[in-house]
Amino acid sequence: MTANWAGRAATVVLAGATSVALLAGPALAAGPVVGAPTAGDPYFPLQGNGGYDVGHYGLTLDYRPGSGQLTGMATIDATATQSLRRFDLDLRRTMTVSSVTVDGRRAAFAQPADLRQELVITPAAPLAKGAGFTVVVRYSGMPRPVTDPDGSIEGWVPTEDGAFVVNEPQGSPSWYPCNDTPRDKAGFDITMTVPDGVTAVANGVLVDTVTAGGRTTYRWSQPRPMSTYLAFVTTGVFRISTGTTPAGIPYLNAVDPSQAAKSRPVLAKLPAMFDFFQSLYGKYPWNSGGALVDNAPEVGYALETVTRPEFDRAPDELTLAHEIAHQWVGDDVTLARWRDIWINEGFAEWSSWYWSEHTGQATAQQIFQRLYATPAKDTGFWNPPPGNPGSAADLFAGSIYDRGAMTLQALRVEIGDDSAFLGLLHDWVQAHRYGNATVDDFVTFTEKRFPQLDLAHFFSVWLYQPGKPTGW
Ligand SMILES: [Zn+2]
């Protein structure tokens, strides 16, 4: 993610952030249990669920931009990790569920008001631990944007010609039922029907389009494991262009006509960016690349949606580089908990600095030095330290980006050997492909690799010490 305004104000406090009770009791004599209604992340305690692991989402959607009506069918393939008599999906109550089946049999379900985004499902028969099962949820409603603890909006954001859909960190259940934790990665096939003249763009490759009766259906496929917050299907009037990078990565760009002229010179650099970050981090993890540029300035940020980052307006060059780098750092290697946001943002921001250096613009060290000149008394610039934002309201604070990227640049200088530093980043990504990682995982990974350096002190200063880092 990259904010398009200076200093996202932390004005809203998440109420009751620590008060969600675990409903899952101890198993009675190893009988089937109730899956937990949370994945246990204190920043977003309603997110995610326990008792199963999703392998694939098939979303069949129909959107009418005029009325704002979304109708959906979600087919979710999962494996039970506990013996379950009941389990939850995450879905906001603005979406009304009309039926649920589990393995083809009608299941009881509820959307309790006090649980806010839980779809509680009781299958006709308990699910055995280790068994694969398929849930089909039919639902409809008028999805509304979600407001985050930092005051920003996400989820399903209606535009003049469709909807701009971005989900980090908690927008997904506003438009599809899911196990909304970054740790439950799955493949996605998204099918969207819209009125003729409107285009639907989602993750992955466009499999086909079918037009009938004044409406067109777009089928998109992205089979690799990705986190739920990185799924999207954005609709509107778009100019589509396709190509293949010199290194062989296919890409598809979708650009709102109002942003076409301003986007053109920046998007001309997109193929070289994909190839550059592939040379840095290793083989491109997804089946397509590209970018989507919409006209949705009320959103105020860009997001690294898998395969095809989304921009609420024509991006500048370093924002485009940041979001493309995220395809490896953030999307392939993903934070394990939200407090680990540095694993995503510090790395993507540093990557954009390295692109600047690579293309003969300011070097990463020059950018570091310019930012390091910020006085210590400017505490809003230096805090919170990037290793621990402290609360969901500070998840995307400027320091997570600026000081977060400075941490990696300072590490580069500390290591002193560029090939050793770049090898560290490459091997970090390769060691966590399609996985999740914590800040501590990176610290441990690095300390093991450079035992001769006093990195415990270095990391404690840069990642955790409040205020301007000194004496590392
Ligand atoms: Zn980002």
Distance between Cα 144 and ligand 1 center (Å): 23
Exposed/middle/buried for 207, CB within 10 Å: 0-12, 13-18, 19+?
exposed
Q: What is residue 371's predicted lDDT score, i.e. its pLDDT?
A: 98
Please give the distance, rounded to the nearest whole angstrom, from the Cα atom of residue 91 to the centre of ligand 1.
Answer: 25
pTM assigned to the model:
0.94
Q: Could you tell me which residues are beta bridge partners of residue 88?
A: 120
pLDDT, one tens digit per residue, over 202-254 is: 999 999 999 999 999 999 999 999 999 999 999 999 999 999 999 999 999 99
Q: What pLDDT does 1 receive?
A: 83
* In the predicted structure, residue 4 carries a pLDDT above the cut 80: no
User: Closest by alpha carbon to 14, among 63, 39, 56, 47?
Assistant: 47
Q: Identify the band that residue 29 occupies on the pLDDT scale cut at 50, 70 and 90.
A: low
Average pLDDT over residues 90-96: 98
Is the confidence at residue 26, as pLDDT, over 60? no
Q: How many CB atoms neighbour CB 258 within 10 A?
A: 16
Report the separation in Å between the CA atom of 347 and the middle of ligand 1, taken as the mean of its atom positions.
9
Residues 335-464, CATH architecture: Orthogonal Bundle (1.10)
Span 157-182, pLDDT tens digits: 999 999 999 999 999 999 999 999 99
Q: How far is CA 373 from the centre of its chain?
A: 32
Do residues 251 and 271 lie in contact, with contact meaning Cβ atoms separated by under 8 Å?
yes
Q: Would you mind telling me the total number of residues written for the chain in this entry?
A: 472
152 with 300: CB under 8 angstroms? yes
Query: Does position 55 have pLDDT exceeding 80, yes or no?
Result: yes
Query: What confidence category does residue 67 fall into, taking pLDDT thresholds of 50, 70 and 90?
Result: very high
Quote the mean pLDDT of the chain: 94
Q: Cβ distance 401 to 343 under 8 Å?
A: no
C-alpha of residue 11 to centroid of ligand 1, in Å: 21
CA 180 / ligand 1 centre spacing (Å): 19
Q: Cα(64) to centroid of ligand 1, in Å? A: 31
pLDDT over threshold 70, residue 401: yes
The answer on pLDDT for 301 being more than 80 is yes
Q: Pick the closest to residue 313 from 333, 330, 295, 337 (CA basis).
A: 295
* Centre of ligand 1 from the C-alpha of residue 2, in Å: 5
Ligand 1 centroid to residue 167 C-alpha, Å: 13
Does 28 have pLDDT greater than 90? no
> What is the whole-number distance in angstroms between the Cα of residue 233 and the centre of ligand 1?
19
- The reported pLDDT for the residue numbered 8 is 36
Question: 128: CA distance to ligand 1 center in Å?
Answer: 39
Query: Per-residue pLDDT tens for 221-230?
Result: 999 999 999 9
Give the Å distance between the CA of 232 and the centre of ligand 1. 16
pLDDT of 15 higher than 60: no
∠ CA 166-393-226, nearest 5°, is: 35
469 CA distance to ligand 1 centroid (A)? Answer: 23
Task: Check whether 283 has a pLDDT greater than 90.
Answer: yes
Helix 364-372, helix 398-415: angle, nearest 10? 120
Domain 3-8+36-332 adopts which CATH fold? Immunoglobulin-like (2.60.40)
Separation of CA 328 and ligand 1 centre (Å): 11
Res. 88: pLDDT tops 90? yes
Per-residue pLDDT band for 74 (boundaries 50, 70, 90) equals: very high
CA of 105 to the centre of ligand 1 (A): 42
From the CA of 306, how far away is ligand 1's center (Å)?
12
Tell me, in angstroms, the distance from the centre of ligand 1 to residue 304's CA: 7
How far is ligand 1, taken at its centre, from the CA of residue 48, in Å? 22
User: Which amino acid, residue 445?
Assistant: F
> Does residue 6 surpass a pLDDT of 50?
no
Same CATH topology for 3-8+36-332 and 335-464: the answer is: no
Domain boundaries, given as residue ranges, for the chain: 3-8+36-332, 335-464
Give the pLDDT mean for 405-423: 98
